[in-house]
Structure 1
């Protein structure tokens, strides 16, 4: 369906490269000039608000992508739907587990400060794997006998992700620690963060190459999302403090990429509607 190879003058391709360069230069300049930055302070409403925005946006992308899959027979849309639905579900559980939003100092569903971080990293890991598969795989095709079966697979996926989130909360005391009870981050967090940077960074490169070779804008928007996630993870590594400048930047950075992906998927529907007319 998409065969035209994109040149380096392509606007979306230049946007992908420009975004990565701008983030890299911006982060370097801010860190050299400002270091760890100021301690901004806690806001009880911030995490529920951001988590709610991420959940709604990612579930919207998942809904649109899974609707696109059987119509245009695009395996990438199928995997995108799985990845973003997992992000949305886990961010809902993440918000409920965050400290200070419950009737006590703890979350509604959790009594461990380590649990929300687990859910955040787990959501980024599952999403990263699904997006990498989306850029590499040509399976499953909706036209290859999956027309009736794929909705059941998706429903099973939703149940599985919910169960994983519930298990994280239920057995939170047994989870390896990414942060101690006094708020200190551990070496485990650094290791997992670097692995996630490699996962999403590699995914962004593969998605960009796929966009350049096939001109499917979906891969371009996926690359932009993964670039923002990479720099969100880098922000988390630059300062190990809750409620500091880089901590807030970690939480906010990926939201922009998520909305770019949402509007990109919506634009695909608009273009499809125009072609059908």
Structure 2
């Protein structure tokens, strides 16, 4: 069984067993704050379990503007591979969407693939060329255009999308653990509160939720996910939403076969 669907089913069971109280992560007092000196203007240094937290974070609060800015800056300056997963269950139906974005700055290649309900979208960029392929049922169409600046494409795709922005702004987070990823210390947060009133990505009335985020000491979000169960217009909705930085640095992008076929046909 798909882990996202299993999570949605498990969450539904929790609601039946626990009623409509929102879930909260455990609190941790193991954090310290060092105030800046008289001649310093930077924000206070915050340490959790011996790990310095990145700018815009404390053990109990995330400044989404600072964190999103840092995420974009880090990705836009490096090769990256990002994965996005969405699962939406409502009225007896389940829709799944998966998107992968891979960019190699030095070779000026970027590839995007989104598997959407009923259709697939692929985009491939080089230094001066853009190709997109859309498949809906048995119909396939390919479009080609020129690219003025691969650098602009690279930075545009690195911008925090609506999913990552919605996940950060809709929830509150509490640090619960530390870990190490690719040689960097990272903080693990649990979701402690969720509001569905500010984004159509969430049911307006949320009855149950569960989620987490891992962010390293540079401010790079490695993983953030949220599962919610709620009600929209009288219909029960379960949603799983996840953003992952699958790889940061040294990413290879392979030209898809349909691009080669397109080149041969022109």
Query: What is the TM-score normalised by the length of structure 2?
Result: 0.30
Q: Which of the two has greater strand per residue?
A: 2
TM-score, reference length from structure 1: 0.29
Structure with the largest fraction of helix: 1
Q: Which has the larger radius of gyration?
A: 2
